[in-house]
Amino acid sequence: MPDTLTPVLTDNWGDDRAWTLASYAARGGYSALDKAFAMDPDAIIAAVKDSGLRGRGGAGFPTGMKWGFIPQDNPKPKYLVVNADESEPGTCKDIPLMMASPHTLVEGVIISSYAIRANKAFIYIRGEVLHVIRRVQNAVREAYDAGHLGKNIHGSGYDLDVVVHAGAGAYICGEETALLEGLEGRRGQPRLRPPFPAVAGLYASPTVINNVESIASVPSIIGNGASWFSSMGTEKSKGYGIFSLSGHVKKPGQYEAPLGITLRTLIDLAGGMREGHELKFWTPGGSSTPILTAEHLDVPLDFEGVGAAGSMLGTRALQIFDDTTCVVRAVLRWTEFYKHESCGKCTPCREGTWWLVQTLAALEKGQGSEADLDLLLDQCDNILGRSFCALADGAVSPISSSIQYFRDEYVAHLTHGGCPFDHTASTLFAAEGANA
C-alpha cells in the first residue's frame, strides 16, 4: 500500500511563473510531444492502454480503450473535448492544475488529439473560474506562438486547433453528453445513448471526451513510458492521481499519490484532524459518492477498494467532516444542490429532488416521524437507476448512505425537535481548532 506522495502533475506548481510556457519548457515541457510525433497514433493509443490510465473524471473508464473506440474509418472529422467543468462538490483538482500549469494540459491535448486523429480540440471550462480561463487562454496562445499548435506542428505535418470555451454555470455540463450540448450552444441536457460520443458526439462526429487530469497525465505516460505509469498504483487502478483533501483536517489541499493510498495516510500527511476532533464522515470522490466513516480509514483509495466499501472512488474529492458536523444538515445541503442542478429533463430527478429536499428539510427541523426515513429511502429507491443520467444517482448517494450510517442522528433531530448541533462549532473560525 503506497504511503508516499508522487508529485507528477503537481510537481511544477511551486515553480516561478509555472503557468508560462518559458517555465514549463525550462523543465522539459513539450518534449513528450516530439516523442509522440515520432510514434504512430495507434502506438500512442496502445501506450495509453498499456499504462492502465483510467479516466480521472469520476467513472474510471480506461482511457486508451475509449480512444480505441473512435472509428477511424468514419470520414467525419474527429474531435477531442476536454472536460474542465469541475463542479462536483468537493472536487478541486483540475482548477488548480489549469491555474498553475495549463501547458501540461495543452501538451496532453496535442498528444491525445494526434492519437485519435483529431484536428480540432475544445477545452470546456466551467465559467465560474475566471483566472483559470485566463491562464488556459494564455497558454493556448503561447502554444500557437511557439508552433505547438496550428499548422504542421513541429514539422510533423499534423495540424491542430484548440478552442477554449467557457461554460455558464451548470453542474450537469460535467456529464459528457450534456457538455456536448453546451458546446453546441444548447441547453445542457444529457443526450440519449447510444449513439455514444465515440461514434456520434460533437456535431454527430466521433468524439473523445476526457477529464483534465486524464489528458494532463498523457504527456507523462508518453514521456516516461507506459510501464513507468503502471508501476504506480494497484493492480487494476494504475498510476498516480491528485487527492483533494478539504474540510476538517489541519492542512487541506492537494496531495498527489499513487492510487490505493488510504485516507488514514492522507490525513496523517495533512497533519491530522482539527485539534480536539475526530473524523465523523467523508466523501471519497465528491458528494455523489456514498459517504464513508472512520471505519473506512484503511480502505485503499482505488476504484476496487472504494467500490468494495460500498462507495466509489469518483474524483478523489475527500471532503472530511469531524464530529461537530451535523450529517443531516450536510446531506440536506447536498440535496438542495442536486435539486438546483437537476437539468429538468427526466421525472425522477426533477420531481424527486423537489420532494427529497422537502422531506429532508422537515426532518432537519425535527418535524415528521421516523417513518419518513423509510419514505426517504423509498423515494431514493424510485430515483436510483430510474433516471436519465447519473446526476440523480449521485443525488441519492448521500441520503441513503447517511441513513445507513447515521440513522440515529436523524432520529435525534426528531426527538430533539430540531438540530442538536451547534453549527458555529464546525466553522473554520470557531474559537478553537482554527488552522492558520
Partner 1 sequence: MTVTTGSTDGVEKVDLVTVTIDGIQVSVPKDTLVIRAAEQVGVQIPRFCDHPLLAPVGACRQCLVDVPDAGNGRGFPKPQASCTLPVAEGMVVHTQATSPVADKAQQGIMEFLLINHPLDCPVCDKGGECPLQNQAMSNGRGETRFEGVKRTFPKPINISPQVLLDRERCIVCQRCTRFASEIAGDPFIELVERGAQQQIGIAENAPFLSYFSGNVIQICPVGALTSAEYRFRSRPFDLVSSPSIAEHDSCGSAIRVDHRRGKVMRRLSGNDPEVNEEWITDKDRFAFHYANQPDRLTYPQVRDEDGSLRPASWPEAFAVAARGLRAAGSSAVLTGGRLTAEDAYAYSKFARVALGTNDIDFRSRPLSAEEASFLASEVVLRTPSQGAVSFSDLESAKTVVLVGLEPEDEAGAIFLRLRKAVTAGTTRVVSIAPYATRGLTKLAGELVRTAPGEEAAAIAALDVDADTVLLVGERLATSPGALSAAAESGARLAWVPRRAGDRGAVETGCLPNLLPGGRPVSDAAARVDAATTWGVDSLPDSAGRDADQIVAALVAGELGGLVIGGVDPDDTSDPAATRAAIEAASFVVALELRETDVTRAADVVFPVAPVTDKAGMFVTWEGRPRTFDAVFSNPNSLPDLRILAGIAEELDLSLGFRTVAEARAQMEEMGPWDGARAAHSPVPTSSTTGDGLAVSTWKLLVDNGSMQDGDKAYLATGRAPVARLSRSAYDAVGPTVTLTGDRGSVTLPAEPADLADGVVWVPANSFGRGVLADLASPGSRVTVKGANQ
Partner 2 sequence: MAIDDKTKSELREIAARYPEARSGLLPMLHLVQSVEGRVTSEGIELCAEILGITAAEVSGVATFYTMYKRRPVGDYHVGVCTNTLCAVMGGDAIFERLKGHLDVGNDETTEDGKITLEHVECNAACDYAPVVMVNWEFMDNQTPESATQLVDDLRAGKEVQSTRGPKICTWREAERVLAGFPDGRADDGPAAGPASLVGLEIAREQGWTAPEANNA
Name the residues that contact ligand SF4, by CB under 6 A. 172, 189-190, 342-346, 349-350, 387-389, 391-392
Distance, CA of 230 to CA of 277 (rounded, Å): 37
Q: Which of residues 110-149 bind partner 1 (CB under 8 A)?
A: none
22 binds partner 2 (CB under 8 A): no
C-alpha cell at 30: 513539450
CA distances from 80 to 188, 312, 327 (A): 18, 26, 40
**Window of 24-32, 38-46, 297-305, 334-342 that interacts with partner 1 by CB under 8 A:** 334-342
Q: Give the angle subtended at the CA of 427 by the CAs of 295 and 406, to the nearest 5°.
A: 35
Which of partner 1, ligand FMN, ligand SF4, none lies near 386, with the C-beta cut-off 5 to 8 A by kind?
partner 1
Which triple of cell numbers denotes residue 65?
480503450
277 lies in the site for ligand FMN, by CB under 6 A: no
Q: Applying CB under 6 A, does 56 fall inside the site for ligand FMN?
A: yes
Cell (9 digits) for 113: 488529439
Provide the mask over 83-122, with x wherever binding to partner 2 is found by CB under 8 A and - wherever it is not. Answer: ---xxxxxxx-xxx--xxx------------------x--
Q: Which of 61, 69, 203, 354 binds ligand FMN (CB under 6 A)?
A: 61
- Residues 393 and 384 sit within 8 Å (Cβ to Cβ): yes
With binding defined as CB under 8 A, does residue 34 bind partner 1? no
Q: Residue 13's binding partner, choosing from partner 2, ligand FMN, partner 1, none, with beta-carbon cut-off 5 to 8 A by kind?
A: partner 2
Q: In Å, what is the CA distance from 308 to each residue of 230, 232, 302, 390?
A: 22, 21, 10, 20
Considering CB distances under 5 to 8 angstroms, the limit depending on partner class, which of ligand SF4, partner 1, partner 2, none binds residue 391? ligand SF4
**Segment 169 to 198, residues that bind partner 2, using CB under 8 A:** 169-171, 182-188
Q: Could you tell me the smallest distance in angstroms from the CB atom of residue 343 to ligand SF4?
A: 3
What is the number of other CB atoms lying within 10 angstroms of the CB of residue 169? Answer: 11
Amino acid sitting at position 427: T
Taking CB under 8 A as the rule, which mask of x and - marks residues 172-191 in contact with partner 1?
---------------x-x--
CB contact burial 421-435 (16+ within 10 A = b; e otherwise): beeebbeeeeeebee
3-class state of residue 227 by DSSP: helix
Residue 145 neighbours by CB distance under 10 Å: 11
Output the nine-digit C-alpha cell for 314.
469518483
Q: Is 86 in the site for ligand FMN (CB under 6 A)?
A: yes
Q: Which one, 15 or 372, has the nearer CB to partner 1?
A: 372
Pick the piece of the chain touching partner 1 (CB under 8 A) from 136-144, 156-164, 207-215, 383-391. Answer: 383-391
Find the length of the chain: 436
Identity of the residue, 112 or 246, whose beta carbon is nearer to partner 2 in the bound complex: 246
Binding partner 1 (rule: CB under 8 A), the pick from 251, 354, 422, 435 is 354
Please give the grid coordinates belonging to residue 121. 480540440
CA 161/CA 38 separation, integer angstroms:
20
Q: CA–CA separation, 422 vs 97, rounded Å?
A: 36
Return the residue of 26, 38, 308, 428 that touches partner 2, per CB under 8 A: 428
Cell triple for 389:
443520467
CB 323 to partner 2: min, Å: 12
CA distance 348 to 379: 9
Which residues on neighbouring strands pair with residue 163, listed in sequence order?
Answer: 122
Interface segment toward partner 2; rule CB under 8 A; list 248-256, 355-363, 366-374, 402-410:
248-256
Round to whole Å and give the CA distance between 119 and 241.
Answer: 28
Q: Kindly state the smallest distance separating residue 194's Cβ from partner 2, in Å.
A: 22
Would you say 174 or 300 has its CB closer to ligand FMN? 174
Q: Is residue 342 a contact point for partner 2 (CB under 8 A)?
A: no
- Residue among 105, 267, 269, 396 that touches partner 2 (CB under 8 A): 269
SS (H, E, C) 107-162: HHHHHHHHHHCEEEEEEEECCCCHHHHHHHHHHHHHHHHCCCCECCHHHCCCCEEE
> Least separation, in Å, of the C-beta of 55 and ligand FMN?
2
Contact positions vs ligand FMN (CB under 6 A): 55-59, 61, 63, 83, 85-88, 172, 174-176, 209-211, 214, 389-391, 394
Contact positions vs partner 1 (CB under 8 A): 170, 187, 189, 192, 339-348, 350-355, 358-359, 362, 375, 381-383, 385-388
